[in-house]
Amino acid sequence: MSTTRAHRLRMPAAVAAASCVAALAAPASAAAPTAVAVRTSAYIPGTSCPAFPATSYWHTDISRLKVHPRSAQWMSHMSPTRNLHADFGPSFGEQPVPYGIPITVVNGAPRVKVTFGYADESDKVLYPLSSSTKIEGGLTATGDRHAIVVDAATCTLFETWDTHRRASGWYAGSGAVWSLRSNLLRPVGWTSADAAGLPILPGLLRYDEVARGKVDHAIRFTTNITDKRWLWPARHQAGSVNSIYYPPMGARFRLKASYDISGYPAQARVVLTAMKKYGLVLADNGSPWYFQGTSDTRWTSDLVSALGRVPARAFEAVDVLPMRVNTDSGAAKQL
């Protein structure tokens, strides 16, 4: 399987903030979240840390949300004749590791200074990077070279983009840090390790959850042309057009309830059920309808091929604003 890695165009925070979601978003609701039974999102393997709280936007059921008014317009500019493409799985020798974005788990590991290309929008703290840190595509890879590190001792998530270990020390294009037990978003206009200013980890499809038969979160995906706006909970954009007829960063898409998944293999049905319940989140620029998962030797070509049969036209954009609690929080009303 050959994939095309995402290419990003970043803008300074001041410029990005000036062109954000005024045309897309209503004022934040002051209402409290709807009361729901206490629940816990699945733990990240090797830790007792959730992939963000169960009340997070990522873990919220969107199956009952209304279709977004611009769904048809956005879809018409998103290569609607294509099929889904799993941006993970066996590499068949094209690179030294399986396709996908790896996760490195540490436990109170030493931290080092990182020099950032986009320093004004990166978290300037020490990062737990070392020779053991897994880089997307392998140590000699081109492309996005994401590094995702979870410190199990503190349930802190560290993510970097364009990550390199040089003679002078560690370098990354950008870096972001989150508490996995918090719904706090990044500052308005700030990027992260992806163009939308969102965390990558909660949007990755993982083998362990597919194998157990339940995926409880939305999945990150890309498209090639995006609007110069963003939609909550995104905080940043990297659009190439200034048009509301193109999808903004943060847009959420759902596999239509009417799409018949009964003929797909069992593991593919697990993934497609999640796409109906939690959907896809537009998080970066890249090849249309490429959705991301972890780098894992257990992914099979049969699963990748089955998911590749799903047509893009089976999706629709949904209006997520009714579930927003606060513009600065990723917490969502459980509708």
Q: Is the peptide bond before 102 cis (omega within 30 degrees of 0)?
A: no
Top-confidence residue, 37 or 54:
54
CB 230 within 8 A of CB 236: yes
Could you report the per-residue pLDDT of 180-223, keeping only the tens digit for each? 999 999 999 999 999 999 999 999 999 999 999 999 999 999 99
Q: 């040089």: which residue's tokens?
A: 166
Q: Which residue has the tokens 């979240």?
A: 33
Q: Is 106 inside a domain boundary?
A: no
Q: How far is CA 64 from CA 153, 233, 260, in A?
A: 37, 19, 18
How many degrees, rounded to 5, is the angle at CA 47 between CA 51 and CA 270? 50
CA–CA gap between residue 85 and residue 288 (Å, rounded): 8
Tokens of 156: 């802190």
pLDDT > 90 fraction of the chain, expressed in percent and rounded: 86
Is 189 part of a structural domain of the chain?
no
pLDDT score of 28 more than 90: no
What's the confidence (pLDDT) of residue 14? 37
The pTM score is: 0.89
- Rounded Cα distance between 237 and 76, Å, is 20
CB 240 within 8 A of CB 9: yes
User: Could you list the residue range(s) of the whole structural domain that residue 270 is in?
Assistant: 13-26+38-100+194-323
Percentage above 70 pLDDT, the chain: 88
Which residues are paired to 86 by β-bridges? Answer: 291
In a domain, 67, yes or no: yes
Q: Is residue 7 part of a domain?
A: no
How confident is the model over 247-283, as pLDDT tens digits?
999 999 999 999 999 999 999 999 999 999 999 999 9
Q: What is the pLDDT of residues 109-145, one digit of tens each?
A: 999 999 999 999 999 999 999 999 999 999 989 999 9
**262 found inside a domain:** yes
Quote the CA–CA distance of 277 and 279 in Å, as a whole number. Answer: 6
Strands 103-106 and 147-151: parallel
Count of the separate structural domains present in the chain: 1
Distance CA 276, CA 274 (A): 5
As given in the structure block, the two tokens for residue 203 are: 């949007």
Q: Is residue 112 part of a domain?
A: no
